[in-house]
């Protein structure tokens, strides 16, 4: 039987794929709503990541079919354990809200992309696009926090945090921004794009990365300090187990990669104007986020388990290859890349 620490790699793959798929839509909507002119440089690239939604859906179905491996609470929540939200821990309800939720955001994203493509055709089209764009941030926050609750926070039924959903969403969005930096850099340097992204975009994305780094640390420390100061056993134990047991290397690496390096580097204006430096920081943030997702998921069981390096590389490589093919196909259909 596959171990929980190995199966957790699939859960991390789902979380990462889903975050990248929806975050591009959210970024395009927010940049439009705040009137950012530089959105025209990246909006088409950003929304093509939604081509990975089908992959996220397949991963979701696999996780639900193997629910006894995905959710440690299955088979244990009816034996008197302390549950924060007893009604939340029913597999049919969980599967329904996750499947319906994903299908809904896929449809919402499709509508957004269609309306964005014709938003400058007429005043009526512009108004129609504005209406859908106003809804995107609301459903992005609502859906992403629900997924964070189901696949991370509630894995240990007795543990809960009012701020965890926001922390998870902020962390994953910063990972998306970092991915955008690397993706744009690779496409630009290899001369793949029909219209190259201008270099000043790296600076703008770096400023957003710095902002989300600070916001992530704010939500992370607000949660950590509250749990530590309250010193309730059910809440403190999960944090201490991840921090001090089998995943301690991943835990402290996460802090260093997601906060120390990005903050110290991107706080300097000169660094934010160097694509190579921004690229290195982006790599740190992505790696730190993978460590974070895996630690919160696999470490839910008393912070114990192995770190499946080979299995993780194999699974992530397969998922990345499929995602590459899906996004590449979308870019070709939309005439964003040459050839």
pLDDT digit string (tens) for 13-50? 999 999 999 999 999 999 999 999 999 999 999 999 99
Domain presence at residue 338: no
The pair of three-digit structure tokens given for residue 22, joined into one six-digit string: 């929806």
The band of 79, judged by pLDDT with boundaries at 50, 70 and 90, is very low
Domain presence at residue 84: yes
Question: Per residue in 136-190, pLDDT tens?
Answer: 999 999 999 999 999 998 888 878 888 999 999 999 999 999 999 999 999 999 9
Domain presence at residue 203: yes
Residue where the block lists tokens 């969403």 = 169
Residue where the block lists tokens 């994953």 = 172
Going by C-alpha positions, the residue among 315, 272, 312 that lies closest to residue 294 is 312
What is the per-residue pLDDT for 83?
Answer: 60
Separation between Cα atoms, residue 339 and residue 331, nearest integer Å: 11
Q: For residue 85, is pLDDT > 90?
A: no
What is the per-residue pLDDT for 142?
Answer: 96
Separation between Cα atoms, residue 59 and residue 126, nearest integer Å: 35
The band of 76, judged by pLDDT with boundaries at 50, 70 and 90, is low
Mean pLDDT of all residues in 182-210: 95
Residue 37 lies in domain: 4-333
The pair of three-digit structure tokens given for residue 326, joined into one six-digit string: 């899906």
User: Which residues, in sequence order, are bridge partners of residue 337?
Assistant: 193
Q: For residue 80, is pLDDT > 70?
A: no
Half-sphere exposure of 187 (CA within 13 A, CB side): 22
Domain presence at residue 65: yes
The band of 299, judged by pLDDT with boundaries at 50, 70 and 90, is confident
How far CA 83 is from CA of 73, 78, 145, 156, 265, in Å, comes to 10, 10, 19, 9, 42
Domain presence at residue 35: yes
Phi and psi dihedrals of 193, rounded to 5? Answer: -80, 145
Domain presence at residue 339: no
Q: For residue 292, is pLDDT > 70?
A: yes
Mean pLDDT of all residues in 111-121: 93
Domain presence at residue 305: yes
Residue where the block lists tokens 């694509």 = 275
What is the per-residue pLDDT for 303?
Answer: 78
What's the number of domains the chain is made of?
1
Mean pLDDT of all residues in 58-87: 78
Length of the chain in terms of residues written: 339
| Count helices and strands in the chain by DSSP H and E runs | 14, 0
The pair of three-digit structure tokens given for residue 254, joined into one six-digit string: 């996460």
Q: For residue 218, is pLDDT > 60?
A: yes
Domain presence at residue 156: yes
């Amino acid at each position: 039987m596959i171990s929980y620490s190995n199966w957790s790699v699939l859960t991390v793959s789902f979380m990462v794929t889903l975050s990248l798929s929806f975050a591009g839509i959210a970024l395009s909507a927010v940049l439009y709503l705040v009137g950012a002119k530089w959105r025209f440089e990246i909006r088409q690239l950003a929304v093509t990541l939604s081509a990975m939604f089908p992959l996220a859906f397949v991963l979701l179905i696999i996780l639900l079919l193997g629910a006894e491996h995905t959710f440690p609470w299955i088979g244990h929540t009816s034996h008197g354990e302390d549950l924060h939200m007893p009604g939340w821990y029913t597999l049919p309800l969980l599967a329904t809200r996750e499947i319906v939720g994903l299908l809904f955001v896929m449809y919402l994203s499709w509508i957004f992309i269609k309306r964005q493509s014709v938003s400058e055709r007429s005043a009526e089209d512009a108004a129609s696009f504005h209406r859908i764009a106003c809804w995107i941030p609301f459903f992005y926050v609502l859906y992403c926090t629900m997924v964070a609750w189901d696949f991370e926070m509630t894995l240990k039924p007795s543990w809960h945090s009012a701020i965890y959903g926001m922390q998870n969403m902020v962390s994953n969005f910063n990972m998306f921004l970092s991915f955008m930096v690397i993706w744009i850099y690779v496409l630009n340097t290899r001369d793949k794009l029909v219209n190259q992204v201008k270099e000043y975009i790296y600076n703008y994305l770096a400023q957003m990365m710095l902002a989300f780094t600070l916001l992530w640390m704010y939500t992370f420390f607000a949660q950590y300090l509250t749990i530590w100061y309250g010193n309730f056993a059910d809440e403190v134990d999960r944090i201490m187990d991840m921090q001090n047991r089998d995943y301690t290397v991943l835990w402290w690496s996460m802090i260093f990669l997601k906060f120390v390096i990005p903050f110290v580097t991107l706080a300097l204006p000169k660094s934010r104007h160097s694509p190579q430096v921004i690229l290195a920081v982006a790599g740190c943030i992505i790696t730190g986020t993978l460590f974070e997702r895996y630690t919160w998921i696999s470490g839910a069981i008393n912070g114990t388990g192995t770190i499946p390096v080979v299995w993780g590389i194999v699974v992530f490589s397969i998922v990345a290859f499929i995602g590459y093919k899906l996004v590449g196909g979308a870019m070709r259909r939309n005439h964003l890349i040459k050839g």
